[in-house]
């Protein structure tokens, strides 16, 4: 797998890098014995089962089975290719990488991403320059200042201006010998409907560059300064920009989110800028799209297991709609979400400009949990007449159903029952009926899609012993010699465990004992997961325990041999030649390769 980057470079990078640093950037970790624990960024969970081992430099999630080393984490979490992940680490730790030889396809993908990021970076500088030097750009800057943005905010967020005219950016890129085709892939320019020319996507607009968590410019938002339409225009989806994953301000919000264990989610560019300018830096903006499950996972990584998200809305109606839309996502994402509705006619931007951050934070203390908020809004809307109460329950049943935790759900039902004076059982009945309606695509509580890595098949005693053997080799490497000498791995019946067992022996003989390096022997995520899991399962090995296990394993081999021999004898007696031939083949196979099947074929 490491064909394109020399092995010793990869080793140097692995030695220099620390998985705790890398994972901590997106997952909030706490100490638990020798390991660190956090909420898994790859599946929804409430109790942390995502384990990082600083000693072994690997991670493993006991919930969904994801596992591997630092490179695997970057690949899986950042959606990077192997060379990109290695390149990323090399850059962080100041290690020079030789120019690498990649497959044409890899090369194409990597170059495409890099080219788009470079073009975007180019465009960021171009738009910034225009904000300073263009006549219209200076007007744009005036406009920003008049709206209360400071020069510092404008600089820090790299705000810019896209000049009027159809090809200003295009010409600029052309002067720098950039390819128009790639600029189009980056969403910066648009192909003309007629003929084969291009024109600038953003014209006569204030530009808000959008950065990803690694501080790379992935896209742009552009806002007009007059009444032209559309008011806002965004980059299209590109190989580096996915709307359902991107959050504006994420790159600058991360640190503070972690500190405060809270993230504010606002809707617009100016709202975000105002929040940061007023020191409420743990804020991101969704930019018009509603929050997706991916967003929620990202946010949870930043605020940690006890953290919360506060969604800020400028009106009850917007808040209600958002709550209805995203209650299931937050319930499913297992992160606490609250709704903050600002006083009438205010958005976060105008509120902060008018009243400052103290009042904002005071208001935030009054934010409500999503369901209480929905209850109160429904009461306000429908009143508490009989008819009103029926409507309230109807409105809320899906939201209640979305609560995954049965205890939390029953408490909510109880609260609602008390609040509106309806019998609990009646509400429960309604909720259950909703659950049984198949047409409604509501998320079914208690059936979290925890295990994308397929449920574990039912394994017998042999498999359990083999697994123990591998765990022992990983956690008590002193025994590897014994295992090798007695050729135990030749007797493994499970092909995955057999390959891993042999890999361990080979790795420890030739590459010393680092488990992170061992993990990268395999590209297959299943094997990575098995290794990381068995390296980290909590077992206390000592020499006696190991000897016991080895004896048990040896006995099980003998038992299986005997069964096979007995089967052969029986087949000979009964004259079943087909069976006999099959059994003999099996015995031969055992003797030769060791990958023998279990002897019980005569049942
Ligand atoms: Zn997981």
* Average pLDDT for 467-473: 93
How crowded is the C-beta side of 227, counted as CA atoms within 13 Å? Answer: 0
Q: pLDDT higher for 244 or 404?
A: 244
Q: Report d(CA 111, CA 537) in Å as an integer.
A: 40
**124 and 87 in a common domain:** no
pLDDT at residue number 183: 96
Report the separation in Å between the CA atom of 62 and the middle of ligand 1, taken as the mean of its atom positions: 7
Could you give the number of structural domains in the chain?
A: 5
pLDDT at residue number 79: 76
φ/ψ bin of 442: left (φ > 0), alpha (ψ from -120 to 50), beta (otherwise): beta
- CATH number, domain with residue 520: 1.10.860
Report the separation in Å between the CA atom of 516 and the middle of ligand 1, taken as the mean of its atom positions: 19
* Average pLDDT for 8-28: 85
Residue 294 lies in a domain: yes
Q: Report d(CA 95, CA 9) in Å as an integer.
A: 8
**111 and 74 in a common domain:** no
pLDDT band at 591 (very low <50, low <70, confident <90, very high): low
Report the separation in Å between the CA atom of 36 and the middle of ligand 1, taken as the mean of its atom positions: 14
SS3 state of residue 160: strand
pLDDT band at 592 (very low <50, low <70, confident <90, very high): low
- Pick from 201, 234, 267: which residue ends a domain? 234
Q: Report d(CA 419, CA 368) in Å as an integer.
A: 15
pLDDT band at 387 (very low <50, low <70, confident <90, very high): very high
pLDDT at residue number 82: 81
Report the separation in Å between the CA atom of 50 and the middle of ligand 1, taken as the mean of its atom positions: 6
pLDDT band at 551 (very low <50, low <70, confident <90, very high): very high
Residue 391 lies in a domain: yes
Report the separation in Å between the CA atom of 48 and the middle of ligand 1, taken as the mean of its atom positions: 9
Closest CA to 173 of 187, 154, 193: 187
Q: What is the pLDDT of residues 274-296, one digit of tens each?
A: 999 999 999 999 977 788 888 88
Report the separation in Å between the CA atom of 213 and the middle of ligand 1, taken as the mean of its atom positions: 21
- CATH number, domain with residue 168: 3.90.980.10
pLDDT at residue number 455: 38
pLDDT at residue number 279: 96
Pair 40, 51: CB distance under 8 Å: no
Report the separation in Å between the CA atom of 63 and the middle of ligand 1, taken as the mean of its atom positions: 5
Percent of the chain with pLDDT over 70: 92
* Average pLDDT for 391-417: 87
pLDDT at residue number 334: 72
Residue 1 lies in a domain: no
Q: pLDDT higher for 356 or 404?
A: 356
Report the separation in Å between the CA atom of 370 and the middle of ligand 1, taken as the mean of its atom positions: 25
Which residue blocks in 261-401 are alpha helix, DSSP H?
A: 269-277, 293-303, 316-333, 348-365, 370-382, 386-401
SS3 state of residue 594: coil
**325 and 222 in a common domain:** no
**Residue 247 gets which letter from DSSP?**
-
Closest CA to 97 of 86, 82, 110: 86
Residue 49 lies in a domain: yes
Residue 451 lies in a domain: no
Give the structural domain span for 131: 104-234
Q: Report d(CA 312, CA 310) in Å as an integer.
A: 6
Residue 446 has pLDDT above 80, yes or no: no
- Pick from 209, 234, 259: which residue ends a domain? 234
- Pick from 321, 350, 372: which residue ends a domain? 372
Q: Report d(CA 505, CA 549) in Å as an integer.
A: 18
Q: Report d(CA 529, CA 506) in Å as an integer.
A: 19
**404 and 495 in a common domain:** no
Closest CA to 306 of 340, 338, 263, 261: 261
Residue 391 has pLDDT above 50, yes or no: yes
Report the separation in Å between the CA atom of 3 and the middle of ligand 1, taken as the mean of its atom positions: 29
**406 and 343 in a common domain:** no
Residue 306 lies in a domain: yes
**87 and 192 in a common domain:** no
Beta strand spans in 145-227 (E): 160-162, 189-191, 198-200, 205-211, 217-223
**259 and 367 in a common domain:** yes
Closest CA to 337 of 311, 312, 364: 311
Residue 452 lies in a domain: no
Alpha-carbon dihedral 210, 213, 218, 224, rounded to 10 degrees? -10
pLDDT at residue number 598: 40
Q: Report d(CA 330, CA 370) in Å as an integer.
A: 9
Pair 292, 244: CB distance under 8 Å: yes
**74 and 122 in a common domain:** no
pLDDT band at 358 (very low <50, low <70, confident <90, very high): very high
Residue 561 has pLDDT above 90, yes or no: no
Residue 1 has pLDDT above 60, yes or no: no
Burial (CB count <10 Å: 0-12, 13-18, 19+), residue 279 = exposed
pLDDT band at 67 (very low <50, low <70, confident <90, very high): very high
Report the separation in Å between the CA atom of 257 and the middle of ligand 1, taken as the mean of its atom positions: 22
Q: What is the pLDDT of residues 184-232, one digit of tens each?
A: 999 999 999 988 899 999 999 999 999 987 788 999 999 999 888 899 9
**387 and 366 in a common domain:** no
Report the separation in Å between the CA atom of 443 and the middle of ligand 1, taken as the mean of its atom positions: 19
* Average pLDDT for 231-248: 91
**Which residues does residue 489 pair with via DSSP β-bridges, in sequence order?**
none
**DSSP string spanning 394-456?**
HHHHHHHHT---HHHHHHHHHHHHHHHT--HHHHHHHHHHHHH-TTS-PPPTT-----TT-PP
Report the separation in Å between the CA atom of 64 and the middle of ligand 1, taken as the mean of its atom positions: 4
**290 and 368 in a common domain:** yes
Q: Is the pTM of this model over 0.85?
A: no
- CATH number, domain with residue 54: 3.90.580.10
Report the separation in Å between the CA atom of 179 and the middle of ligand 1, taken as the mean of its atom positions: 41
> In degrees rounded to 5, what are phi and psi of residue 264?
-90, 135
Q: What is the pLDDT of residues 246-260, one digit of tens each?
A: 999 998 998 888 888
Report the separation in Å between the CA atom of 25 and the middle of ligand 1, taken as the mean of its atom positions: 17
User: Which of 306-320, 411-425, 514-528 is predicted most confidently?
Assistant: 411-425
pLDDT band at 127 (very low <50, low <70, confident <90, very high): very high
Q: pLDDT higher for 268 or 594?
A: 268
Residue 182 lies in a domain: yes
Residue 448 has pLDDT above 70, yes or no: no
Report the separation in Å between the CA atom of 103 and the middle of ligand 1, taken as the mean of its atom positions: 31
pLDDT at residue number 162: 97
* Average pLDDT for 355-377: 93
Report the separation in Å between the CA atom of 450 and the middle of ligand 1, taken as the mean of its atom positions: 8
Alpha-carbon dihedral 590, 593, 598, 603, rounded to 10 degrees? -60
Report the separation in Å between the CA atom of 392 and the middle of ligand 1, taken as the mean of its atom positions: 36
How crowded is the C-beta side of 322, counted as CA atoms within 13 Å? Answer: 27
| Burial profile 462-498: b = 16 or more Cβ within 10 angstroms, e = fewer | beebbbbbbbbbbbbeebbeebbeeebbbbbbbeebb
Report the separation in Å between the CA atom of 295 and the middle of ligand 1, taken as the mean of its atom positions: 16
**168 and 143 in a common domain:** yes
**292 and 213 in a common domain:** no
pLDDT at residue number 437: 58
CA angle 264, 268, 274 (to 5 degrees): 65
**Residue 175 gets which letter from DSSP?**
H
Report the separation in Å between the CA atom of 260 and the middle of ligand 1, taken as the mean of its atom positions: 24
Residue 501 has pLDDT above 90, yes or no: yes
**Residue 63 gets which letter from DSSP?**
T
- CATH number, domain with residue 359: 3.40.1360.10
Interstrand relation of 336-341 and 308-313 (parallel, antiparallel or unpaired): parallel
């Amino acid at each position: 797998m490491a064909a394109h980057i020399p092995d010793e470079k990869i080793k140097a990078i692995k030695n220099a890098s620390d998985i705790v640093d890398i994972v901590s950037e997106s997952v909030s970790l706490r100490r638990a014995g020798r390991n660190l624990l956090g909420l898994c960024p790859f599946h929804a969970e409430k109790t942390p089962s995502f384990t990082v081992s600083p000693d072994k430099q690997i991670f493993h999630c006991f919930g969904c089975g994801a596992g591997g080393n630092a490179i695997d984490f970057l690949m899986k979490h950042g959606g990077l290719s192997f060379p990109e992940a290695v390149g990323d680490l090399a850059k962080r730790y100041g290690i020079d990488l030789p120019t690498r030889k990649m497959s044409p396809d890899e090369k194409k993908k990597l170059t495409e991403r890099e080219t788009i990021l470079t073009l975007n970076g180019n465009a960021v500088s171009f738009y910034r320059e225009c904000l300073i030097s263009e006549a219209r750009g200076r007007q744009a800057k005036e406009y920003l200042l008049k709206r209360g943005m400071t020069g510092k905010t404008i600089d820090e967020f790299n705000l810019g201006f896209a000049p009027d005219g159809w090809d200003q950016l295009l010409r600029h890129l052309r002067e720098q010998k950039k390819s128009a085709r790639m600029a189009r892939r980056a969403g910066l320019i648009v192909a003309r409907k007629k003929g084969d020319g291009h024109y600038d996507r953003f014209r006569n607009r204030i530009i808000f560059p959008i950065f990803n968590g690694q501080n790379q410019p992935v896209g742009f938002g552009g806002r007009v300064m007059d009444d032209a339409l559309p008011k806002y225009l965004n980059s299209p989806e590109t190989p580096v920009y996915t709307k359902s994953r991107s959050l504006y301000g994420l790159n600058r919000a991360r640190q503070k989110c972690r500190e405060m264990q809270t993230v504010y989610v606002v809707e617009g560019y100016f709202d975000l800028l105002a929040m940061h300018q007023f020191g409420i830096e743990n804020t991101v903006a969704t930019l018009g799209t509603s929050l997706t499950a991916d967003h929620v996972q990202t946010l949870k990584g930043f605020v940690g297991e006890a953290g919360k998200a506060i969604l800020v809305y400028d009106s009850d109606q917007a808040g209600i709609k958002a709550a209805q839309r995203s209650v299931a996502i937050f319930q499913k994402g297992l992160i606490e979400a609250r709704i903050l509705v600002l006083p009438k006619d205010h958005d976060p931007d105008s509120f902060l400009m008018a009243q400052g951050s103290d009042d904002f934070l005071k208001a935030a203390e009054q934010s409500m949990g999503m369901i209480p908020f929905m209850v109160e809004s429904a009461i306000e809307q429908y009143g508490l007449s009989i008819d009103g109460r029926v409507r309230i329950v109807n409105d809320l049943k899906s939201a209640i159903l979305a609560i995954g935790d049965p205890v939390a759900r029953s408490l909510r039902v109880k609260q609602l029952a008390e609040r509106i004076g309806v019998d609990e059982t009646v509400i429960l009945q309604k909720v259950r009926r909703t659950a049984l309606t198949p047409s409604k695509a509501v998320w079914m509580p208690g059936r979290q899609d925890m295990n994308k890595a397929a449920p574990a098949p039912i394994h017998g005693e042999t498999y359990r012993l083999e697994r123990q053997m591998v765990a022992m080799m990983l956690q008590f490497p002193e025994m590897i010699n014994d295992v090798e000498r007695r050729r135990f791995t030749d007797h493994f019946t499970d092909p995955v465990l057999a390959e891993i067992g042999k890999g361990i022996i080979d790795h420890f003989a030739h590459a010393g004992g680092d488990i992170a390096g061992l993990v990268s022997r395999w590209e297959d995520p299943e094997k990575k997961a098995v290794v990381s899991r068995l390296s980290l399962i909590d077992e206390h090995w000592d020499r006696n325990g190991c000897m016991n296990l080895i004896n048990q394993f040896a006995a099980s081999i003998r038992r299986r041999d005997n069964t096979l021999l007995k089967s052969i004898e029986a087949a000979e007696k009964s004259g079943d030649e087909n069976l006999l031939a099959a059994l003999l083949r099996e015995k031969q196979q055992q003797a030769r390769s060791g990958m023998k099947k279990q002897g019980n074929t005569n049942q």
